[in-house]
Amino acid sequence: MKKTFLMITILGFVSLCSGCKSDIPIFDETRAFAYLVRQCDFGPRNPGSDGYYACLEYIKTELDQSADEIILQDFSYQEQRNNNKYELQNVIARFNPNADFQTVISAHWDTRPWADQDKNQGNKKSPILGANDGASGVAVLLELAKVLSENPPNIGVNLVFFDGEDMGIPGENNTYCQGSQYFAKNLPIPKPNEAINLDMVGDKQLVIPIERYSLEYHPKLVRYLWDRARDMGLDAFTGRVDYAIYDDHVPLYEIAGIPAIDIIDFKYPNSYANFWHTQQDIPENCSKESLEQVGKLMLDYIYNREGQNWGND
């Protein structure tokens, strides 16, 4: 799924949001965490599994109650590790689809078929539950959908649930992020102005540095969001530039030319231990407070983005 590098820098921010609104709708972190747990109740959601199909129907049912329009994007992928072919599906929930300005907020909803980073050799061939790496981003998106249905935005918001993100072979980036690659090559909506991808945002010890590709792809959006996070007291967001991650934002920019960023805490739970791609990626290692920090920032972005003319529009 990811390829990492390390670069340490401290960014100094200057406010880009003079006159930001203060009456932003509330992000319900308890409900968001319930969305995370509900996904995990289905079991692993690796393509082809019972949990995969149950969760797909659950996501679509939830979105049917909120979105102005839903687009289902079907595609096939032949996974290279075991040479199995899968039928996959991206889900796009649109709000205010006729607005001039369109943004994407995305997450992947599939989970990894193998716990290949687990220290226990007996666990390595088993699928992960993916509470953080999978369910956390989707949980934030489902709560955003609920809020957007009750508080229609002035901009166009496309909540995109990517499939096939986590079936790749380490070191072969093009085997990851199949849903975003297909989306970028076959845009089912008019080309969005920008995109924000959410991944691994439920960690109890949440620390979100600036991902390096994001700073390259859309520096003004990075600057804007981390500045707003500081002003809002969202202390998980640090001004430090850290790893570069091959994640779903990369195909959006490299293939479709959409300025895109990634909000991700890759050090799960911290620099001294690892739950990523292991059997320890469970709800007990996630928190509603972490989802709240990310969700609050996304709502602030959605309801303040209109009229903020600071590039890449």
As a whole number of angstroms, the distance between CA 9 and CA 200 comes to 22
- Pairwise CA distance, residues 276 & 118, whole Å: 8
Q: What is the pLDDT of residues 70-116, one digit of tens each?
A: 999 999 999 888 889 999 999 999 999 999 999 999 999 999 999 99
> Is residue 215 assigned to a domain?
yes
The reply to whether 1 falls in a domain is no
Query: Phi, psi at residue 66, to the nearest 5°?
Result: -130, -40
192: preceding bond cis by omega (within 30 degrees): no
Tokens of 194: 């920008």
Tokens of 236: 């998980």
d(CA 251, CA 160): 14
72 sits in the region (left: phi over 0; alpha: psi -120 to 50; else beta) called beta
Give the type of residue at 262.
D
Residue 80: CATH number of its domain: 3.40.630.10
What's the structural domain count of the chain? 1
Looking at residue 73, its pLDDT comes to 99
Q: Is residue 4 in a domain?
A: no
Report yes or no: 103 and 192 within 8 Å, Cβ to Cβ.
yes
CA pair distance 280, 131, nearest whole angstrom: 9
| Sheet order of strands, 9-10 included | 9-10, 237-241, 208-210
pTM (2 decimals)?
Answer: 0.94
Q: Is residue 294 part of a domain?
A: yes
Question: Does 3 map to a domain?
Answer: no
Using CA atoms, how far residue 94 sits from 106, 149, 158, 168, in Å, is 12, 10, 5, 28
- The neighbour count for residue 83, using CB atoms within 10 Å, is 7
Query: CA 291, CA 32: separation in Å to the nearest integer?
Result: 7
Query: Which residue matches tokens 């009229």?
Result: 307
| 8 A C-beta contact, residue 116 and residue 128 | no
pLDDT tens digits, the chain, 313 residues: what are they? 554 444 444 444 445 565 677 799 999 999 999 999 999 999 999 999 999 999 999 999 999 999 999 999 999 999 888 889 999 999 999 999 999 999 999 999 999 999 999 999 999 999 999 999 999 999 999 999 999 999 999 999 999 999 999 999 999 999 999 999 999 999 999 999 999 999 999 999 999 999 999 999 999 999 999 999 999 999 999 999 999 999 999 999 999 999 999 999 999 999 999 999 999 999 999 999 999 999 999 999 999 998 566 555 4
Q: Return d(Cα 173, Cα 197) in angstroms, integer.
A: 17
Tokens representing residue 271 in the block: 């620099």
Strand segments (E) across 79-147:
85-95, 102-108
Q: Which domain does 182 fall in, by range?
A: 9-304
pLDDT of residue 14: 46
How much is the pLDDT for 81?
Answer: 84
Beta carbons of 295 and 227 less than 8 angstroms apart: no
On whether residue 244 sits in a domain, the answer given is yes
Please tell me the predicted confidence (pLDDT) of residue 9.
44
Q: Find residue 264's DSSP bridge partners.
A: 199
297 in a structural domain: yes
Does residue 173 fall inside a structural domain?
yes
